[in-house]
Structure 1
């Protein structure tokens, strides 16, 4: 096993999405003996030729911000592996006209000039790279640290968890149906407030995971079907892995990407909600009353995530590829 260095942006990037990056990094540290490094801190002394340096980020633009650190690690002999969660941002970043001109003058501005391997979670994004860049691109789907949540928790007082972007008309109907004073249910929805910065990643995620394991149903819609201006193709996003790990029954719109058959292809991994918001509310309320079916779905979802989609499995897969 090579020495693992984890170059972390956690002191620079404080957005809620960064929590997922931090959780992946924590697995590298806890399960694989990784050493956390700040991009601005001095590098470890000595020869790094037996080291693998991981740098994970939400967006491709972060590669440019920390190019010097990554180049210094490579100069010292380390194998640099980068992982970009929002993978659709990478080809545009490296194919930008100004960057192409810089790449013609210096290889440090090309993809191969930044890292030895670039791992990204969506196959469709790989197809957007140039043939030359594609040589160092690896496909590694998203994962989850399933140790952070009790997916088999039985008591589920939250009827529906709606984390992040969701169909507005459905949320409006669910809010009326579940969050009125006479309702026995509860809708927990986050996107009616705006959170730009997280002060404590771990405290924030402990709260998220606790809410998730207390939720019977979680909403997840293929982001390409609801936010095409942001997502250029269908993806199996982080929300599926999180909600399935928490033992929720996932209701919404299954991703149309072919990867969905491989990643979440088991029975009832996503229950399709009716298009009409009022019918969707009735569907969710009926499902919430079917405790036996929810238990069956919970056991299946948790078993699949723990055995196939934990970050430990993903990182072991990555080690084999590099």
Structure 2
């Protein structure tokens, strides 16, 4: 495994070295540039979605207030209508004349807010959008969440296959089940957003949508995880180079993290080995002491037997 990780790290470093070399109008960029590009892109996507979510909460609060106002107006209207005409006051009659207009006005406001919640600004949050950029942002974030879930499942399975005690094995099995369920949820979210994007924009380039089984078997280094984060309109002819740089940067990062994990496991195993060795040495010393003591006792008993007077013949 360590050789494979070193090979992936070597490939990533070679790609980054190549991308540092200027080529025609391409100025050349190092790994720090691509890492910053990746982080900036993710931060931009998350910021855009967070702003939409914040606005959505505000609109929902307004909608709830309008609904409460509508319910109150309707209840007041029914109460006045149920009152006998002779028992109605002038204020009741005036309110009865005004309430239908109030109800209609509130209903129109509710319809307006509901339309906004389902319109261009907010459909991306529910899986649909008339705005192509927001749709791609939603797909990108859904893919990132799916990737994190896939990494979590991989780590859980690695821990589960380690030689551990029964209690730890049961815990790892439960964690594996939770991680698998979480991956299914994240995949379903990604699937809904991609399918809706294909429906809303049938002429757009198709977004890759592998099935769940393929995703669960897919390597973490597959290009699927890194597609869509580079805006081709923004970066033009260099988009492919930027995407390759981001891919290589992420591959380098994962390889380094995996090597660190392997190193931690090796150190842990060496620690266990040294501890086990010390226990064996301690047990050996105790055993030798007990054997020596027993041998000494036997010699003492033999000496005592020799000192005893022998019976005369």
| TM-score above 0.5, yes or no | no
Structure of higher CA gyration radius: 2
* TM-score normalised to structure 2 length: 0.27
Q: Which has the higher contact order (CA 8 A, sep 6+)?
A: 2
Q: Which structure has greater helix proportion?
A: 2
* TM-score normalised to structure 1 length: 0.27
